[in-house]
């Protein structure tokens, strides 16, 4: 009995000290997205993983940028006055690396009227100059920061729109895998995870490109049109089982993991995490943004996703905030466990005395 309780005690202590991972979405919310500065900040805050996106330039360099066009986050329209397409946008794939390097990067704005998407974030009109970077630079930043700090952060790389790139006869996934290989990053134990919305491309990376790297399936609603993949299928139990033969985890829209009412209040968890865990997959839903919540509602949301939905990671613009909530929760969880176990030990002790 006593040994049973000791095992229980050890188990609860370990269980109580586990926390989901924190993934800094495009770095952090506090500096213009995806800049080396923003990624460094996520690293310093203690994000376990830093999430980035890559697109190809005309000359086949991997550029770290979220959209296939440059307009929301750079001064491209001022620098290249005659290089927009008929829709008025400037596309990464129409520019060479040396041209992209001449641009300044700023906090995200709406291209149509120049207003900031998140008004309280870093001012889009500042005299601090940020720049685009390549995947190579981001990999070297991560590996060298890991070395300099003695901390082991990882990179979650989203391959943007493989189907769009293939229309230009570019195999973006092959270039990503080859670039990682040039850094000897090829194994599931390396600090790299690849993800994309195009689920069949993950199968291509695993089978045709024979990559051993960890792969995650990004998922959204079919109507969004992120790719030709059928997310209604891939988020079903059968679809998750199918995916589990190829990927290590799922990065779903948070609405696939919990059910909300029309007012955005959580009603219940879906079966998503349960099924994913049943087939050995991790779940990192996106995107937890503190800007969008008032008062303590962000904290409650994080609590719910942690304890009820039991996710394995949070993809968030605010890695510092979520880490603090998780660490605070962990402390209260483990002190609760200790009190409970002292109580149980005393009970066993009395039980033994009475029996003897």
> Can you tell me whether residue 161 is helix, strand or coil?
coil
Is the Cβ of residue 86 or residue 169 nearer to ligand NAG in the bound state? 169
Contacts to ligand NAG by CB under 6 A? 61, 82, 110, 113, 115, 136, 168-169, 179, 182-184, 200, 203-204, 207-208, 242, 245-246, 261-263, 270-271
- Cβ of residue 244: shortest distance to ligand NAG, in angstroms? 9
Instruction: Tell me the DSSP string of 58-97.
Output: TTSPEEE-SSSBSTTTB-HHHH-TT---TTS--BGGGS-H
Q: What is the token pair recorded at 35?
A: 């800049």
- Cβ of residue 73: shortest distance to ligand NAG, in angstroms? 16
Burial class (CB in 10 A: 0-12, 13-18, 19+), 210: exposed
Q: What is the token pair recorded at 311?
A: 């996710």
User: Distance of CA 10 to CAs 5, 20, 172, 195, 336, Å?
Assistant: 9, 19, 47, 35, 14
- Cβ of residue 178: shortest distance to ligand NAG, in angstroms? 8
- Cβ of residue 29: shortest distance to ligand NAG, in angstroms? 19
Is the Cβ of residue 3 or residue 263 nearer to ligand NAG in the bound state? 263
- Cβ of residue 203: shortest distance to ligand NAG, in angstroms? 4
- Cβ of residue 69: shortest distance to ligand NAG, in angstroms? 17
- Tell how many helices (H) and how many strands (E) occur in the chain: 13, 11
Is the Cβ of residue 22 or residue 54 nearer to ligand NAG in the bound state? 54
Is the Cβ of residue 9 or residue 118 nearer to ligand NAG in the bound state? 118
Is the Cβ of residue 19 or residue 61 nearer to ligand NAG in the bound state? 61
Sign of CA dihedral 319, 320, 324, 327: positive
Which position's Cβ is nearest ligand NAG? 262
d(CA 97, CA 230): 34
């Amino acid at each position: 009995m006593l040994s049973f309780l000791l095992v229980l005690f050890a188990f609860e202590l370990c269980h109580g000290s586990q926390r989901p991972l924190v993934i800094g979405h495009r770095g952090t919310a506090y500096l213009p997205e995806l800049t080396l500065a923003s990624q460094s900040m996520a690293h310093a805050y203690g994000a376990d993983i830093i999430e980035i996106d890559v697109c190809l330039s005309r000359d086949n360099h991997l550029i770290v940028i979220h959209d296939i066009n440059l307009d929301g986050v750079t001064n491209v329209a001022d620098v290249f006055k005659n290089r927009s397409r008929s829709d008025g946008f400037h596309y990464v794939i129409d520019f060479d690396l040396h041209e992209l390097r001449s641009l300044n990067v700023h906090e995200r704005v709406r291209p149509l009227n120049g207003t900031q998407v998140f008004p309280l974030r870093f001012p889009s009109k500042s005299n601090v100059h940020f720049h685009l970077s390549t995947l190579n630079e981001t990999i070297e930043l991560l590996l060298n920061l890991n070395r300099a700090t003695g901390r082991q952060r990882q990179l979650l790389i989203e391959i943007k729109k493989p189907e769009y790139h293939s229309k230009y006869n570019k195999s973006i996934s092959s270039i990503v895998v080859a670039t990682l290989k040039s850094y000897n990053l090829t194994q599931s134990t390396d600090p790299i995870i690849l993800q994309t919305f195009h689920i069949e491309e993950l199968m291509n990376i695993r089978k045709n490109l024979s990559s051993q790297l960890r792969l995650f399936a990004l998922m959204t609603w079919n109507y969004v049109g992120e790719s030709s993949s059928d997310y209604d299928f891939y988020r079903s139990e059968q679809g998750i089982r199918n995916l589990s033969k190829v990927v290590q985890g799922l990065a779903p829209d948070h609405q696939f993991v919990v059910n909300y009412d029309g007012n955005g209040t959580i009603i219940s968890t879906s079966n998503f995490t349960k099924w994913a865990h049943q087939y050995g997959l991790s779940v990192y839903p996106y995107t937890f943004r503190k800007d969008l919540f008032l008062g303590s509602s962000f904290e409650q949301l994080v609590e719910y996703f942690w304890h009820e939905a039991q996710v394995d990671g949070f993809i968030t613009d605010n890695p510092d905030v979520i880490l603090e909530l998780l660490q605070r929760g962990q402390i209260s969880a483990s002190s609760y466990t200790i009190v409970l176990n002292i109580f149980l030990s005393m009970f066993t002790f009395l039980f033994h005395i009475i029996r003897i």
